[in-house]
Each structure stands twice: as structure tokens, then as C-alpha cells.
A and B are shown apart, each in its own frame.
Chain A
């Protein structure tokens, strides 16, 4: 039972354009959402997060949108740069879980930025 789903295994985007990565979740207890970026042979690196009390969080070129009623979140990268080519994981946690913020991950989307 996949509680966090990333239905696009891969995405190719022209340099300078917007990249949009999508994520859906099924567990209504999730109240904190994160995006991680992963390069080969490295561990995931935190990118941006959003609490369920918000519907948007922005950090430089990265914006995460949360639609709680649809149980959907998306990551927008604009403008896309070649260094953004990586695997992106959506993750969720129950923030009120007495400090055990174990993460539930999606299966990842491989983003390729075309120069």
C-alpha cells in the first residue's frame, strides 16, 4: 500500500523553463511534507518543506504547493538549471507523532534538464 505516490518516473525539461513534479498521498494523518533531491551514490538532500497549515512555501527557485482536499502536492522549479538534474523524492510525516518524524517516501521522479 503506497501511501505516497509519484506517478511520473521521469521528466525532461528544457533549461530555463519550469519543472513541475507531482506527488499524491493517501494518509490523511500526514501533516508535514518534504521534497528531497538525490544524486547518484549520495544520500537524499533536503530541498524544501511545507506544513499542512500552509498551501504554499517558496525558497528561491523552488516552490511547493499543497492541496489538502485533493491530497496532492507539487514542486515547481523555475528557471530550471542543468544542476537540477537528479532524482526527486516526495516525503511525508506525521509531525505530531511525539517527535518520531519518520518519513514515508514516494518512488521518486528522475528530472533531466536539457541544455
Chain B
């Protein structure tokens, strides 16, 4: 498909279990973002990659969260020893390039459908 895909779409984990969430960005997109959306809230930034380089991880809530994009395309968000407060929808977004697209516009971020994580 042409859009951003994420897998799995739904994940149920027992507290203490490790999980891995996958994001396939649009081919050729340089920038990749992960966001966390809790119930009734807007998405919150977690981390940003430019190709394979993780340039900003200021939004990761704890050292249990780890993200990688080793070849500059597919990205994985890993959560170790999951807690109930980790329950949320995890959204991945990609955009063509960093910086401005011209005309004062930024490159649009295209979002995937998200992975809904429920920690019991």
C-alpha cells in the first residue's frame, strides 16, 4: 500500500511483558515520528528519526521505552516491562523530508492507523 502501515493493530499484554510495535513508513520518507495517544487526549510526541538517526527522544516517558530505525526505513518501538499506564494508541507518522517544503509550508506528516496497546 501507499500509506503508513503499523502492526499489530491491537496488542494485549500482561503487566511486565515486553512488546514491540512496528511501523512501515511511506517509501522514501526521511522523517519518522512516534506519538502516544491516551484515551480522550491528543497524540503526544515520543521520538523523531531522520533516516536512521534518532535526533530527538525527549518524549519517551521512561527508559523502558526504546525506538530504533536501523536502516532508515522500518521502525520499531519497544516497551519493556509494560505497565498499565502504557495502555494507549501508538501512532507512527512519516514525512518526506525535514525542513520546509517551500512557500512557508512544512512537509505534511502522514499517520498510520496506530497500534492500540492494552496492558492488563
- Nearest B residue to A53 via CB reads B104
A53–B108 CA distance with the chains assembled, in angstroms: 18
Q: Which residues of B contact A83 (CB under 8 A)?
A: none
A106–B42 CA distance with the chains assembled, in angstroms: 5
Whether B56 and A100, one on each chain, are in contact in the complex, defined by CB atoms closer than 8 angstroms, is yes
Whether B42 and A32, one on each chain, are in contact in the complex, defined by CB atoms closer than 8 angstroms, is no
Kindly state whether residue A104 has any CB partner on chain B within 8 Å: yes
Q: 5 closest pairs, A vs B, by CB?
A: A99-B98, A43-B111, A105-B42, A51-B104, A99-B99
Kindly state whether residue A80 has any CB partner on chain B within 8 Å: no
Kindly state whether residue B55 has any CB partner on chain A within 8 Å: yes
- Nearest B residue to A52 via CB reads B104
Residues of A within 8 A of B (CB): 4, 6, 32, 36, 41-46, 49, 51, 53-54, 89, 91, 93, 95, 98-108
Whether B45 and A102, one on each chain, are in contact in the complex, defined by CB atoms closer than 8 angstroms, is yes
Kindly state whether residue B20 has any CB partner on chain A within 8 Å: no
Kindly state whether residue B75 has any CB partner on chain A within 8 Å: no
Whether A101 and B107, one on each chain, are in contact in the complex, defined by CB atoms closer than 8 angstroms, is yes
Whether A102 and B48, one on each chain, are in contact in the complex, defined by CB atoms closer than 8 angstroms, is yes
Residue among A36, A42, A43, A99 having the largest count of chain B Cβ atoms under 10 Å: A43
- Nearest A residue to B43 via CB reads A105
Q: Which residues of B contact A107 (CB under 8 A)?
A: 40-42
Kindly state whether residue B114 has any CB partner on chain A within 8 Å: yes
Kindly state whether residue B91 has any CB partner on chain A within 8 Å: yes
Whether A98 and B98, one on each chain, are in contact in the complex, defined by CB atoms closer than 8 angstroms, is yes
Kindly state whether residue B109 has any CB partner on chain A within 8 Å: yes
Check A101/B113 contact, CB under 8 A, given A49-B105, A108-B42. no
Kindly state whether residue B25 has any CB partner on chain A within 8 Å: no
Q: Shortest Cβ distance from A40 into chain B, in angstroms?
A: 11
Q: Which residues of A contact B48 (CB under 8 A)?
A: 100, 102
Tell me which of A32, A42, A99 contacts B31 (CB under 8 A).
Answer: A99
Q: Which residues of B contact A104 (CB under 8 A)?
A: 45
Whether A102 and B33, one on each chain, are in contact in the complex, defined by CB atoms closer than 8 angstroms, is yes
Q: Which residues of B contact A99 (CB under 8 A)?
A: 31, 50, 97-99
Report B32-46 CB contacts with A as 1/0, cut-off 8 Å: 010100001111110
Q: Shortest Cβ distance from B111 into chain A, in angstroms?
A: 3
